[in-house]
A and B are shown apart, each in its own frame.
Chain A
Amino acid sequence: MNIITIEHIAKVYQVGMEEVHALRDVSLRIDKNEYVAIMGPSGSGKSTLMNMLGCLDTPTSGLYNFKDHNVSQMNDNELATIRNKEIGFVFQTFNLLPRSDALHNVELPLIYAGITSHERKERAAAALESVGLADRMHHKPNELSGGQRQRVAIARALVTNPSIILADEPTGNLDSKTGEDIMLLFNEIFEQGNTIILVTHEEYIAEHAARIIRLRDGLIESDENVSDRFIPGKKVSVD
């Protein structure tokens, strides 16, 4: 099933008198239960693309369909709802609320989804358990290691059962051992039937993915299936 379709997306930033073409002409389809890595040199537009896919930003031109919704036409409110219900974000810098404990951080998307306190607590606790942090629920971010913080962020991304998980350099702030642990967690999440797109600079991180899209200067340079490590019975189609 098709989740994301973008056609001829461009994003132009105006910096003073100058126009920065972060994305020039990008078309892409991503199906359910794909595991995609986006690579490319610094400044090639990876984060811009991710923000677009994550409905944090809207393209300057082009078409973006998320499932059956035309995202390019949406207002702030509708974008917020899509982000809340359909998308799970994982950031390089974790982006947890520093003054709230792990449980409350994971609860947050459920608050905005309008879910009652009792159910929220239960689901957040379950999500934390699934990332191996059952014993850290009441720790604040500064009482957790980098890897643990990223696990909290992953739990927060998972807790709403989104259609897709987006991770922009999720291991960028971690040492390689911890990064590898996080990638194993992503693998697990993928194997449970989730769809994952992640941005990385590291080949060995990208190797976990089934499909690698390389960007250069705001254009797709290559887009290839690199692995046959699919779950048997699940077909992944690539244009």
Chain B
Amino acid sequence: MKNYLFELKEGLIISLKAIRSNKIRSVLTTLGIIIGVWAVVVMTMAIRGIDESFQTGVASLGSDNLYIDKWAWFDNDIPWWELRNRKNLEMDDFRRYVELAKLPLAAAPSAGTNRTIKYEDKSVEFVNIQGTTNQYINTTNLTFAQGRFFNELESKGGRQVCVLGSEVNNKLFPLGNGLGNNVKIGGRKFKVVGILEEQGSWVMGNWNPDNQVFIPIENIFRYFQSQRHRSITINVRAPNSQMVEAVKEEAIGIMRRVRGLKYDERNDFSINQQEGLLTNINQTIGVIQVAGLVITGLALFVGAIGIMNIMFVSVKERTREIGIRKAIGAKNRTILGQFISESAMLCLIGGFIGLFLAMITSMIIAQMDFPSKITPDSVILAIMVSLITGVLSGFAPAFTASKMDPVDSLRYE
């Protein structure tokens, strides 16, 4: 054992020397490995980023939530025309649900629209404006940087007040002086009563509270969309995760009653859950994974071929060296080890360069609000990937070298 370690160490020293004397060629050869490792690290980074973002998103929206809606968000089993032909969910449906439901912790209606929001000369276009009631805040875990959510009075009275998501706020009020000011949403004046803390879940898209603005729902109907043409969503929160199923069962029963369905009629509403969102996210992750693996696989394959090629060249060039080493006592396995470790080392160098580039990429991406960070396991991944590639692609050339006849190789010119 000690002997093997010794040979390994000496082999590594020898291979470092060999690589150093061929710097440019070595780096060029490892290009494939560099790209491969870069791709695999960036891919895992991106997936982790999406995943984390999703988790924080779920955390801020509340994970024990149900969304009663005309539309099935993620369920592709129901044909789109059946969904379209469903009756809209209206405020009356919501009121009757609240009357009848005993299990939920909180329930609130919501109706969204996209509008431009302005403050003085600053404006943000296409902001998701959510109309809801004061109860909405109890269906989420949203936290406030300043102020509060609108209260029952403001909600019932349909007052022109609003709560800004952190990003919207940053754009309109870079100085942080938004609270108490009036902004214009779709041309209407609203007073800012609260500003949310950053929730940091870009992956939720339109759901990302950072990009949302909340106003009493009456304003939506009054100014932006007629209640008759607009289906609302009922946001329901279960007291805890064990209760989610029960709340769902209850909701189905109540909604069937409220909507006046006969026993043989299908539900004309859907109970959506964030699990659905999860499958959606997983699809995205799947696409990234496939793309990443294809890029990684191709790059590593090309890289491995390149390494193998250069190692064959190197073995050929150093035939005489191999002869000398054998003449003075190098065993076949010593030579094998020497060339495999040279190839592994070469790939490892490529791996570290790839990792370095991935770190830079990660920093650039982080600038663009895409969560990404290099973690110890991506470093380990990079090292493993490049080591394995190195050993595999170095094996054939090293084997050829180890089997060379000492006399013939000494005679080689």
Contact = CB atoms under 8 A, between A and B. Distances in A.
A89 B328 contact: yes
Interface in A147-198: 156, 160
Contact of B410 (A81, A91, A100): A91
A113 interface: yes
A157 to B, nearest CB: 8
Contacts of B405: 57
B324 interface: yes
A233 interface: no
Given A56-B406, A83-B326, 10 more contacts: A56-B326, A76-B331, A84-B330, A95-B410, A99-B17, A108-B325, A112-B325, A112-B331, A112-B334, A114-B6
Contact of A81 (B320, B325, B329, B406): B329
B332 to A, nearest CB: 5
Interface string B305-341: 0000000000000001101111111111110000000
Contacts of A109: 328-329
B237 to A, nearest CB: 69
Contact of B321 (A54, A89, A97): A97
Contacts of B3: 114
**The 3 A-B residue pairs with the shortest CB-CB distance in the complex, in nearest-first order:** A84-B329, A112-B329, A109-B328
Contacts of A108: 325, 328
B243 to A, nearest CB: 69
Residue in B17, B320, B324, B407 whose Cβ sees the most chain A Cβ within 10 Å: B324
A104 to B, nearest CB: 9
Contacts of A21: none
A77 B17 contact: no
Contacts of B407: 51, 56-57
29 contacts: A51-B407, A56-B410, A57-B405, A57-B407, A77-B332, A77-B333, A83-B326, A83-B327, A83-B329, A84-B330, A89-B328, A95-B323, A95-B327, A95-B410, A97-B324, A99-B17, A99-B21, A100-B17, A108-B325, A108-B328, A112-B325, A112-B328, A112-B329, A112-B330, A112-B331, A112-B334, A114-B7, A156-B328, A160-B329
Contacts of A80: 326, 329-332, 334
A57 B405 CA distance: 8
Secondary structure type dominating chain B contacts: helix
B125 interface: no
B2 to A, nearest CB: 8
B314 to A, nearest CB: 13
A85 interface: yes
A226 interface: no
A85 B328 CA distance: 9
B10 interface: yes
Interface in A193-209: none
Interface in B387-406: 405-406
Interface size class of B (residues with CB under 8 A): 20 to 34
Contacts of A12: none
Interface in A81-97: 81, 83-85, 89, 91, 95-97
A89 B327 contact: yes
A85 B329 CA distance: 8
Nearest to B11: A111
B10 A111 contact: yes
Contacts of B21: 99
Contacts of A84: 328-330
A97 B17 CA distance: 12
Contacts of B17: 99-100
Nearest to B410: A95
Contacts of A77: 331-333
Nearest to B9: A117
B118 to A, nearest CB: 72
Contacts of B10: 111
Interface in B325-362: 325-334
Contacts of A54: 327
Contacts of A76: 331-332
Contacts of A91: 410
Contacts of B6: 114
Among A54, A56, A109, the most chain B Cβ lie within 10 Å of the Cβ of A56
Contact of A95 (B320, B329, B331): B320
A95 B324 contact: yes
A158 to B, nearest CB: 12
Contacts of A113: 329
- A85, A96, A111, A114 pick with most chain B CB within 10 angstroms: A111
A77 B331 CA distance: 6
Contacts of A83: 326-329
A204 to B, nearest CB: 27
Contacts of B320: 95
B327 A56 contact: yes
A170 B213 CA distance: 91
